[in-house]
Amino acid sequence: MAYDESVMAQMREIIERYPNSRSAVMPLLHLVQSIDDEITPEGMQVIAEQLGLTTAEVTAVATFYTMYKRRPVGKHHIGVCTNTLCALLGGDAVYDAISERLGAGHDERDADGTFWLERIECQAACTHAPVMTVDWEFMDCQTPQSALDVIDRLARGEEVVSTRGPVIRDFQATEHTLAFPVDGLAGEGGEADAIMLAGLTVARERGMTAPAPGEGPA
């Protein structure tokens, strides 16, 4: 696939960030995915040419990381964590409810191509289990019904605000942010909540403090 000059300029901008140009493979893959809605063989070939790599080297990265998709994702990516803590607190029920509503299984799109569903091994957000993400933005403390409400609102084109970040945009917009992280949205979302600060709160209530540097066990 031939990319226009604006895309090639973005590729060059990304490559210039890195002393070793091959380090740009991952953000370039996100950039390609933000344009094509998937990682295509043609996209990998262009990246390889820009970095002086073989297509096999680029393909090795694209097929290793699950965030890179080899089929069109659609408008929204839905990830549901079903690792230990999320599963214990209802993550499997959340996943099953969404899967039934969408008629899609793991790494599949729904019939009209609006949603892609993925069972996630871990979202690194155990404090707010069970967790799902929409286009990699957190939706915390979900139940089957609250998750379906998010899906339905997105399907109707309504505004949905992530729990700890910005208004949900779409998958391709998020992919562009992963290529160019300075997107003006860093200040969106709330501060640390009571769940995140629970350990600190208990420590203060009990008068517990951390040892000063050099005062710990020998």
| Of 64, 90, 105, the domain-final residue | 64
In terms of domains, do 80 and 48 share one?
no
What pLDDT is stored for residue 211 in this prediction? Answer: 85
What pLDDT is stored for residue 191 in this prediction? Answer: 72
Cis peptide before 130 (omega within 30 of 0): yes
Structural contact between residues 39 and 27, judged by C-beta atoms closer than 8 angstroms:
no
User: Is residue 26 assigned to a domain?
Assistant: yes
Digit-by-digit pLDDT tens for the chain (218 residues) are 589 999 999 999 999 999 999 999 999 999 999 999 999 999 999 999 999 999 999 999 999 999 999 999 999 999 999 999 999 999 999 999 999 999 999 999 999 999 999 999 999 999 999 999 999 999 999 999 999 999 999 999 999 999 989 999 999 999 999 999 998 888 888 777 888 888 889 999 999 988 888 776 65
In terms of domains, do 134 and 165 share one?
yes
In terms of domains, do 101 and 154 share one?
yes
In terms of domains, do 99 and 162 share one?
yes
User: Is residue 191 assigned to a domain?
Assistant: no
In terms of domains, do 51 and 81 share one?
no
In terms of domains, do 93 and 152 share one?
yes
* Residue 30 belongs to domain spanning: 9-64
pTM for this predicted structure: 0.89
* CATH number of the domain within which 97 lies: 3.40.30.10
Q: How many domains does the chain have?
A: 2
In terms of domains, do 97 and 29 share one?
no
Distance of alpha carbon 23 from alpha carbon 147, whole angstroms: 37
What pLDDT is stored for residue 217 in this prediction? Answer: 66
In terms of domains, do 15 and 101 share one?
no
In terms of domains, do 24 and 104 share one?
no
What pLDDT is stored for residue 188 in this prediction? Answer: 87
* Helical packing angle, 25-36 and 5-15, nearest 10°: 160
What pLDDT is stored for residue 189 in this prediction? Answer: 81
In terms of domains, do 100 and 167 share one?
yes
In terms of domains, do 19 and 98 share one?
no
Number of neighbours of residue 159 by Cβ within 10 angstroms? 8
* Helical packing angle, 41-51 and 25-36, nearest 10°: 140
Q: What value does the CA radius of gyration of the chain take, rounded to a whole number of Å? A: 20
